[in-house]
Amino acid sequence: MKNKKLKRIVSAIICAAAFSQLGVYSEAAGINRAQSCRSSVIIEGDAGEAYANKEIMLMLLKAAASDNVTADDVLYMNMIHTDASGKYELKTDLMNEEDAVVYVNYNGENLTRTVDTAKKITEISDFSISFDTKGGVTEAKAAVKDKFGAQSYGSYDLRLAVAFYNESGRMIGINFSDKKSVELSEAEAIIDVSAKCPDGAVLAKCFIWQSIESMIPLYASQDYNLRREIACLGDSLTAGAGASSPNKTYPGVLQALIGDKQTVHNYGVGGESAATIAARQGGIEWTTESFTIPAGTQGVPVVFNKFNGNLIYPLWQGTEETSAINPCTINGVEGKLSHDAQGVYYFTRTTAGEAVDVPAGTKIITRLSKECADDVLVINIGTNGGYGMNDNNFDIDPLVFIHKKMVANASQYLIVVYSVNMRNYVKDDIKEALGREFGEHALLLDDYFRSEQALIDAGITPSADDLKSISEGMIPQSLLSDGLHWNDAGYRLLAAKVYEKLIELKYVSAD
């Protein structure tokens, strides 16, 4: 923008009455400075003490935009917070140099003729927003519900907008839903909008509007991190038994492949069963028998209920960081789980307080269940049983069930499927069951690891023993540190395959 364009911005704000038909201005807008240099914009304003510590909407529209605003007219849009005195500042870059008009809206609280409707909707309605991303397309859904159930407020036209921002905070894409007439009632009304994620987008925001034409936002924006952290969940094959160092484990190698764009967490713990891993992740309900948490900070014995007949036995290997159980919460009390050499588990509350009775069936809320709630889940479980196993007769259905529970609330996940030198019929059953259930989200690696191609990819010349193992449907010894765990070369191959699949699913960027 050049200076003459800056004057146009300022005059548009001062002469707010000229735009009153849009219902977006009030004298309280109080913009003190609007400065531009090429495509960079700085806006400073004072909304006054009445709007201190509140969210306000700032929009930059093309000056030539008509009253019927479209996505192409929006140069920038975001919710920002005022400080304790009502002041605010916006610094951003625009995609293009354009004549622009700045619009300010106090989230439906401005002093225009449209505010009564906007405030009425926000007062009588509950809004919730959810996101999902698949195949590079982000979908936002808003559920709108009458909070009082009076069913007497008529219908309102609502729209959704989803905007994308890059690492510097510049808006690089936006899409609007169709207008939807919502009849407020006890039943939820769903509005949705989807858009392809632009290259370089790291954050999406969703906005609920009474309409785009009157530009009245009804609800604080909801953020969605497009670059999620990656949680690798599993047993010793995830922890990295047999690797020469932590950065040679498959999560360690995966982190190196991804770089600093996303963080990879290794939540692998050796020796743990499928049920135990799912319990600390929060996928299955991990519950206790009845007991009383004392007022003091002394440990008290606690007994865990079985899951589908399987014991849950955490904290025997690994570290506090990899198990990520503690601190946990039981019946609203934060504390720490531990066990003695005889296998008796104890719960020790963090701070003293009133004694609390814990009914049977109370769920344990782990730190991991909170930390990985929004992460990309990479799951490899089942080596140590814990889903219904009797010698070599595997009950596959419970394993599928546990996986389904673990990913029930995850929009981005990958099930890694392979077995280390088990009988062919067993591994085939696992592969078929999980592959059939999870489709593109299942990474089936048995055939690959039992091929010469795996050795070639690892830069290893197959030995006679390797070729014999492959002919017998076994993993070649050159990829193993023992009969059950990978060596550095094996973990490197595993990480590469996981990385390729995460790129294919568009959970990570190939750049």
At 471-500, the pLDDT tens digits run: 988 999 999 999 889 999 999 999 999 999
Residue range 426-476, pLDDT digits in tens: 467 778 889 999 999 999 999 999 999 999 999 999 999 999 999 988 999
Look at 35-39, 46-50, 132-136, 231-235 and tell me which has the smallest mean pLDDT. 35-39
Once rounded to an integer, what is the mean pLDDT over residues 19-44? 46
From the candidate CATH numbers 3.40.50.1110, 3.40.50.620, 3.60.9.10, 1.10.357.10, the one assigned to the domain spanning 230-286+365-504: 3.40.50.1110
Look at 6-15, 332-341, 379-388 and tell me which has the smallest mean pLDDT. 6-15
> CA separation (Å) from 209 to 72, 180, 213, 245, 268?
17, 11, 10, 52, 44
Q: In whole numbers, what is the pLDDT of the chain averaged over residues?
A: 79
Question: Three-state SS across 443-504?
Answer: EECHHHHCCHHHHHHCCCCCCHHHHHHHHCCCCCHHHECCCCCECHHHHHHHHHHHHHHHHH
- Domain pair 1-107 / 114-226, same fold: yes
Cα distance between residue 367 and residue 337, in whole Å? 11
Instruction: Please give the structure tokens belonging to residue 97.
Output: 């140099």
Task: Count the helices and strands in the chain (H runs, E runs).
Answer: 13, 29
Contact 506, 136 (CB under 8 A): yes
- 313 CB-near residues (< 8 Å, 6+ apart): 272, 273, 276, 343
> CA separation (Å) from 393 to 154, 272, 385, 417, 429?
61, 19, 11, 18, 11
Domain positions in the chain: 1-107, 114-226, 230-286+365-504
Please report the pLDDT score of residue 135 as a whole number: 55
Q: Residue 308: pLDDT band by 50, 70, 90 thresholds?
A: confident
Higher-confidence position of 264 and 221: 264
Q: CB-hemisphere CA count at 13 Å for 232?
A: 28
Q: Residue 347: pLDDT band by 50, 70, 90 thresholds?
A: very high
The answer to whether residue 328 scores a pLDDT higher than 60 is yes
Contact 314, 269 (CB under 8 A): yes
Residue range 66-124, pLDDT digits in tens: 666 677 778 887 877 788 888 888 777 766 666 667 767 665 444 233 333 444 445 55
Contact 60, 76 (CB under 8 A): yes
Once rounded to an integer, what is the mean pLDDT over residues 214-230? 70
Cα torsion 147, 152, 156, 160 to 10°: value is 20
Please report the pLDDT score of residue 216 as a whole number: 59
Q: Tell if the pTM clears 0.75, that is, is over it.
A: no
**Top-tier CATH class for 1-107:** mainly beta
Please report the pLDDT score of residue 62 as a whole number: 76
Once rounded to an integer, what is the mean pLDDT over residues 336-347? 97
Cα distance between residue 242 and residue 481, in whole Å? 5
From the candidate CATH numbers 2.60.40.10, 3.40.50.2300, 3.20.20.30, 2.60.40.1840, the one assigned to the domain spanning 114-226: 2.60.40.10
